[in-house]
Chains A and B, each alone.
Chain A
Amino acid sequence: MLRVDHASVYFAARDKRTIHALDKVSLTIPEGSFVVALGTSGCGKSTLLNAMAGFLPLSEGSITLDGRAIDGPGADRGVVFQKDTLLPWKSVLDNVALGLKFAGVSRAARQERARDLLRLVGLEDFADAAPYELSGGMRQRVGIARALAPDPAILLMDEPFGALDSMTREQMQELLVSVWQRSGKRIFFITHSIEEALFLGTQVIVMSPRPGRIVARFDLDFVKTFVRDRDERAIKTSPLFAALREEIRAIVHQSEDLRRAAE
């Protein structure tokens, strides 16, 4: 279980003012769950992810993964970045195998594992391609396979589909659900799309900016319904889905209005 306990983050802004980026955020990500953080830009969701990944130390509070405190980046947490960070001098296969190379796995073994992961994301025919030959969606799929390679306990995804067109995005959501289901990994996923959050999350947390904090939590099962029925349209057009979408939209706008009134 990944446990975030009263995590607060303060940054120094360029003009010496203090920015309160994260305010006493508490959150647990149990085994097998898919937690989606939703919010407008500046609500601290990326700060939270960076802290979970170990890129950013906390000002206060703690984060533990299966009981161990997080004190830096490590291969037990796979990260998928907003911008793909594939190495242009390595083939797709070697990019996926990078984490295994760091772990000292032999060349043959890591290539075999990387091939399996490429099959999982549907890119087995592109193993020898160069990253710059792939489309944006394909590159993010390589990013997912790469993050899975060292067999992390959790996958942290920072708006991975934000730069994709809406049609590719829907395909990627479905792919991610099947990866989640087949690998059994916990996922922490950041988005600013309400529909994406509702469709993917077993738990959705809504965050609001300045200071970044959690203003609402929802436990959902749309994604489990999708795993069972594979019918995306039926889910997204269901009255419950629409009602929740409007409810969350109201929360997001309300916190926006409050913030504007305070300024």
Chain B
Amino acid sequence: MTTIIAQDIVTASDPTPVPRLVKMRGFGIGEGSTVTISLVTAITLLILWWVVAQTGLVAHLFLPTPAEVVSAAAAIFQDGYANASLWEHVSASLMRIFSALVIATVLGIPIGLAMGLNRWAKGIFDTPIEFYWPLPPLAYLPLMIIWLGIGETSKITLLALAMFAPIVLSAQAGVRSLPRERVNMALSLGATRLQLFREIVLPSALPEILTGIRISLGVGWGTLVAAELIAATRGIGYMIMSASHFLATDVVFVGIAVIATCAFTFSLAMRLIERWLVPWKGKS
């Protein structure tokens, strides 16, 4: 039996109706851009700050006006602060963060990978890392100074310790999330242990490792002020601490803004590196 259902005949004179576009009812924030909302929020906060500071709702000593912060920034940019130019402060901090990052990645990635691959490595490194990782860096800062002195070594060690754990943990998680089938696939194609590691394990763990580096950079900036708390003469953290002693809140604000800008730039750079190194992330 064959049935042909006649199609509705559409004549050319019909005005083309605009179809009502529909899509699945969403949940959560959906697809709409949040940029405008965020911008409006930022402007509102700035205005609120200006109003609170201008009207003297908060004592001027504690809260400078936006204009004062801008002029303080200009002054520091031109004349420097505490016998050093702004660039010298920034570069001192960047130098410490970078050195710590290099140490943390060079040690953290192999140790994390080893912990994901080997029972002995996992057993040995788990104890010290799980012990120190939840500690606030400020808690062991005095020990760093007693053991390593007040120079750069103690500052970079403190930062490296804080940045090391997220990288180790993410590299380990990267190995452990490797699907068993992917390993079997490589072995059935004749991969040696070394080839398995280089061609399968390492690229599989790479997205997680990069996420770990991003987290560790965040931790690094967070620890920077603590690291520059004692016996530093340069650095953004030092600038903030020193200004706070003189209740120079406008300088504190400038320091915070500089750290925020640096951290944001790093985060952006990491995102670009991710897009370049692991373009497949999230697609499978």
Report chain A residues within 8 Å CB of B187. Answer: 54-55, 72-74
Report chain A residues within 8 Å CB of B280. Answer: 88-89, 130, 132
Report chain A residues within 8 Å CB of B200. Answer: 87
**Cβ contact within 8 Å between A85 and B189:** no
**Cβ contact within 8 Å between B190 and A102:** yes
**Cβ contact within 8 Å between A88 and B283:** yes
A101 within 8 A of B: yes
Q: Which residues of B in the span 164-204 have a Cβ within 8 Å of any Cβ on A?
A: 179, 181-182, 184-192, 195, 199-200, 203
A138 within 8 A of B: no
**Cβ contact within 8 Å between B185 and A85:** yes
Report chain A residues within 8 Å CB of B190. Answer: 74-75, 99, 102-103, 150
Give B180 Cβ to nearest chain A Cβ, in Å.
9
Q: Is the interface of A mostly helix, strand, loop or mixed?
A: loop
Report chain B residues within 8 Å CB of A83. Answer: 181
Give the most central of B184, B185, B283: most A CB within 10 Å. Answer: B185
**Cβ contact within 8 Å between B191 and A87:** no
B residues lining the A interface (CB < 8 Å): 179, 181-182, 184-192, 195, 199-200, 203, 278-280, 283-284
Closest to B184 in A: A55
Q: Which residues of A in the span 69-111 have a Cβ within 8 Å of any Cβ on B?
A: 72-75, 77-79, 81, 83, 85, 87-89, 98-99, 101-103
**Cβ contact within 8 Å between B185 and A81:** yes
**Complex formed: what's the CA distance from A149 to B283 in Å?**
25
**Cβ contact within 8 Å between A101 and B188:** no
Closest to B195 in A: A102
Between-chain CB contacts (< 8 Å), 30 pairs: A54-B187, A54-B188, A55-B188, A73-B188, A74-B187, A74-B190, A75-B188, A78-B189, A79-B184, A79-B185, A81-B181, A81-B184, A85-B179, A85-B185, A87-B182, A87-B199, A87-B200, A88-B280, A88-B283, A88-B284, A89-B279, A98-B199, A99-B190, A102-B189, A102-B191, A130-B280, A132-B283, A132-B284, A147-B188, A150-B190
